Amino acid sequence: MNFMDGVYKVQDIPFTDLADQYGTPLFVYDGDKIKSQYQKMVNAFDVKKLKINYACKALTNINILKLMRQLGSGIDAVSIGEIKLSLLAGFPPQDIVYTPNSVGIEEIEEAIKLGVRINIDNIEMLEYFGHHYPDLKICIRINPHVMAGGHSKISVGHIDSKFGISIHQMPLVHRIVKNQKIQVEGIHMHTGSDILDVEVFLHAADILFNQAREFDELDYIDFGSGFKVKYKENDIETDIEALGKAMSRKFNEFCKETGMDLTLAFEPGKYLVSESGYFLAKTNIIKQTTSTVFAGINTGFNHMIRPMFYNAHHDIINVSSVDGIPKLYTVVGYICETDTFAYNRKINQITPGDILVFKNAGAYCFSMASNYNSRLLPAEVLILDNKSYLIRERQEFEDLLKNQVEVPIFEKAEVDG
């Protein structure tokens, strides 16, 4: 976000112009920010072979996927739908790593037929592959039992997590691999999101390095992601340069010591797209109660659930009132349940019709949106080289009826009546 000549802009385009052109609510993504985040991560590591696999669950619009492919990224996919979208975006199957959790064997079989890399996170599935696909190279997701991440809902590497194979079960894993002659090409971990402490990440990495010594034919080690981004002014974030320097040293020393020619892999999602995204909403009402001033806007948790689901903070700026006097507002949506985006937040004076912009709306916002309350999904716009491109049309009412089937019995009942 830029503030130039008294106007808030994304690149050189005023947010108010985008709201006028495309309507609200509206998601806007700054393509230049995605490029700079990707390059920042690549530059942080000094290793012979580095692979960045974009965790596309963060934002799956096919144009974002094509941009990632253009940058040289691979894909971290968690569903058959994400696999198919990535293939449609032009990714070769071997550049897609599929990491399912609690899915049916039918979905995994479909992924195998599509030729993508498979990352296995439970022993039963490992045995299944040994019996049915002994010639297929696989990756193993290990749970290092390291508690990391911003809070419990995004911490996935602790001892009670449903993700990965427990580090304490690795002796059994090695017996299965040996007895069934399973080809293991990679090992993987992901401890959580919003990891700030580099030392915690490096501690978990050491656990994975120790496990890597037990496999003879590894091609890569995938250390997941979870890097923290800035959510507010003067916020702290993962020091990617410090992490890159320390991890590169450890990785290079490990490869030299073991003689392995490995690829260092990561799977960032939020880190690449979160700060590129902005969510624009129009103010419907200002409502004063005995102790609170509500700013009611034309959206709700049906479009951006992170503040309600994760208690996530998103800076909110009134781009229609640059010189307005800051006042305290509780910003709420139009859903029939409590959908509060911010409590008593200091925002320049808001009046009905003003455009509010939510920052950090690039990751896990549109991708978690729904039609709750029969509300329509918003449009998406990508900004590249100071030009705006509509990359998803706003839904229309007819879209709510798509795939619904009206049962003829009700028509007969009306006639009989």
Question: Is the same domain home to 233 and 289?
Answer: no
In the prediction, which pLDDT does 354 show?
Answer: 98
Residue 127 lies in a domain: yes
Residue 408 lies in a domain: no
Residue 99 lies in a domain: yes
The answer to whether residue 191 scores a pLDDT higher than 80 is no
Give CA–CA dist 278/284, Å, rounded.
19
Measuring CA to CA, how many Å separate 379 from each of 25, 270, 296? 7, 20, 20
The CATH number linked to 242 is 3.20.20.10
In the prediction, which pLDDT does 412 show?
Answer: 67
Question: Is the same domain home to 374 and 265?
Answer: no
Residue 414 lies in a domain: no
Residue 127 tokens read as 């045995």
The CATH number linked to 282 is 2.40.37.10
In the prediction, which pLDDT does 416 show?
Answer: 64
pLDDT-derived band of residue 417, with 50, 70 and 90 as boundaries?
low
Using alpha carbons, select from 148, 246, 157 the residue that is nearest to residue 194.
148
In the prediction, which pLDDT does 414 show?
Answer: 64
Q: What is the CA radius of gyration of the chain?
A: 24
pLDDT-derived band of residue 293, with 50, 70 and 90 as boundaries?
very high
Question: Is the same domain home to 196 and 328?
Answer: no
Q: Are strands 96-98 and 74-77 parallel, antiparallel or unpaired?
A: parallel
Please state the rounded mean pLDDT for residues 344-359: 97
* Higher local confidence (pLDDT), 150 or 80: 80
Give the chain's domain count: 2
Residue 59 lies in a domain: yes
Question: Is the same domain home to 95 and 223?
Answer: yes
pLDDT-derived band of residue 225, with 50, 70 and 90 as boundaries?
confident
In the prediction, which pLDDT does 151 show?
Answer: 39
pLDDT-derived band of residue 46, with 50, 70 and 90 as boundaries?
very high
In the prediction, which pLDDT does 203 show?
Answer: 85
Q: Which residues face 119 on adjacent strands?
A: 139
Question: Is the same domain home to 262 and 287?
Answer: no
| pLDDT tens readout for residues 316-337 | 999 999 999 999 999 999 999 8
pLDDT-derived band of residue 355, with 50, 70 and 90 as boundaries?
very high
Question: Is the same domain home to 122 and 21?
Answer: no
Please state the rounded mean pLDDT for residues 258-285: 97
Please state the rounded mean pLDDT for residues 144-160: 51
One-character DSSP codes across 380-394: EEEEETTEEEEEEPP
The answer to whether residue 155 scores a pLDDT higher than 80 is no
Give CA–CA dist 351/108, Å, rounded.
52
Question: Is the same domain home to 84 and 224?
Answer: yes
Q: Are 355 and 15 in contact (CB under 8 A)?
A: yes
| Least confident interval from 41-55, 60-74, 192-206 | 192-206
pLDDT-derived band of residue 192, with 50, 70 and 90 as boundaries?
low
Supply the mean pLDDT for the chain.
92
The answer to whether residue 376 scores a pLDDT higher than 90 is yes
Residue 357 lies in a domain: yes
Question: Is the same domain home to 286 and 249?
Answer: no
The answer to whether residue 190 scores a pLDDT higher than 90 is no
Give CA–CA dist 369/392, Å, rounded.
14
Which phi and psi (to 5°) does residue 221 adopt?
-125, 125
Q: Which of 220, 241, 273 is the last residue in one of the domains?
A: 273
In the prediction, which pLDDT does 158 show?
Answer: 43
Residue 411 lies in a domain: no
* Higher local confidence (pLDDT), 274 or 414: 274
Question: Is the same domain home to 98 and 190?
Answer: yes
Q: What is the largest CA-CA distance in the chain?
A: 83
Chain-centre distance for alpha carbon 304:
13
Q: Are strands 340-348 and 316-318 parallel, antiparallel or unpaired?
A: unpaired
Q: Which of 273, 297, 321 is the last residue in one of the domains?
A: 273
Give CA–CA dist 310/153, Å, rounded.
7
Give CA–CA dist 29/389, Å, rounded.
10
The answer to whether residue 161 scores a pLDDT higher than 90 is no
Give CA–CA dist 261/281, Å, rounded.
50
In the prediction, which pLDDT does 149 show?
Answer: 43
Please state the rounded mean pLDDT for residues 166-173: 92
Using alpha carbons, select from 352, 337, 335 the residue that is nearest to residue 293.
352
Question: Is the same domain home to 191 and 265?
Answer: yes
Residue of 56, 139, 255, 336 marked catalytic:
336
Question: Is the same domain home to 231 and 355?
Answer: no
Please state the rounded mean pLDDT for residues 124-145: 92
| Catalytic residue flag (residue 336) | yes
Question: Is the same domain home to 188 and 243?
Answer: yes
* DSSP H/E element including 80: helix 80-88
In the prediction, which pLDDT does 154 show?
Answer: 37
Give CA–CA dist 264/375, Å, rounded.
43
Range of the domain at 301: 2-28+275-401
From the annotation, which residues make up the binding site?
226, 306, 310, 337, 364
Give CA–CA dist 98/116, Å, rounded.
7
From the annotation, which residues make up the binding site for pyridoxal 5'-phosphate?
226, 364
Q: Are strands 2-4 and 326-332 parallel, antiparallel or unpaired?
A: unpaired
From the annotation, which residues make up the binding site for substrate?
306, 310, 337, 364
Q: Which of 224, 250, 273 is the last residue in one of the domains?
A: 273
Residues 6+ apart with CB under 8 A from 67: 31, 34, 35, 382
Q: Which residues face 297 on adjacent strands?
A: 283
Residue 322 lies in a domain: yes
